[in-house]
Amino acid sequence: MKNTIAIGLCALLAACGNSENEKTTTTNDSMNVNVYDSNHQNMTDTNHNNTSNTTVSIDPADTNFVSKATLGGMTEVDLGNMANSQASSQRVKQFGNMMVTDHTKANDELRGLTGNMNSTSPMPKEMQDTKDHLSKLNGTAFDKAYMSHMVSDHRKDIALFEKASKDSKTPAIKDFATRTLPTLKTHLDSALAVQKSLK
């Protein structure tokens, strides 16, 4: 009789344990699904303090800005590295280093918001032509051509980001554009100063 009761209790405890495990597993699975759904909706419940890992849903009206900002930022980094190795002016080299640092940071933040949606986009012919042209120059010829491009390019960048800061339909992109604008304006001021020093 005692053995029968003991066996019954063991079976009951085992059943409760399995039920509890199943409940825990179900809850965990449910949490994972909720995180996944949240990630595809607002991305505000998980990693809300780490925008570099938080992609957002981009309004179709903002894809042109994202594409131009992504490719433009990548080009700024490439040309900045080029300046570091091909420029003769120390001020041009320093400006190039600033481009690498600041645009790498901006690129990483934008990539964190958009994922790799533009990683395979072809580079516009104008950007590629500029890279090809500057890659063939060295010394003072590079200095002048590079800084001239930096002035004109940052004027275009500022116009692009100002528009996005006002008209973007995606809050995170609008915020990114607004926060990046002061840096771009600083870049333009610096580019104008360096360009003037070369004359």
Backbone angles phi, psi at 180, to 5 degrees: -85, -25
- The series of mean pLDDT values per 10 residues for the chain, 199 residues long, is 44 44 38 28 32 72 92 96 97 98 95 72 88 97 98 98 96 97 98 95
Phi-psi region of 105 (alpha: psi -120 to 50; beta: other; left: phi over 0): alpha
Burial of 40 (0-12, 13-18, 19+ CB in 10 A): exposed
pLDDT at 55: 78
Scored b (16 or more CB within 10 A) or e, 91-122 reads bbbebbebbbebbeebbebbbbbbeeebeeee
Q: Model's pTM, two decimal places?
A: 0.71
Q: What angle do CA 102, 104, 106 make, to 5 degrees?
A: 70
In this prediction, residue 149 carries a pLDDT of 98
Query: What's the pLDDT score for residue 36?
Result: 24
Q: Determine the Cα–Cα distance for residues 137 and 87; give it in Å rounded to an integer.
A: 9
Spatial distance between the Cα atoms of 151 and 55, rounded to a whole number of angstroms: 32
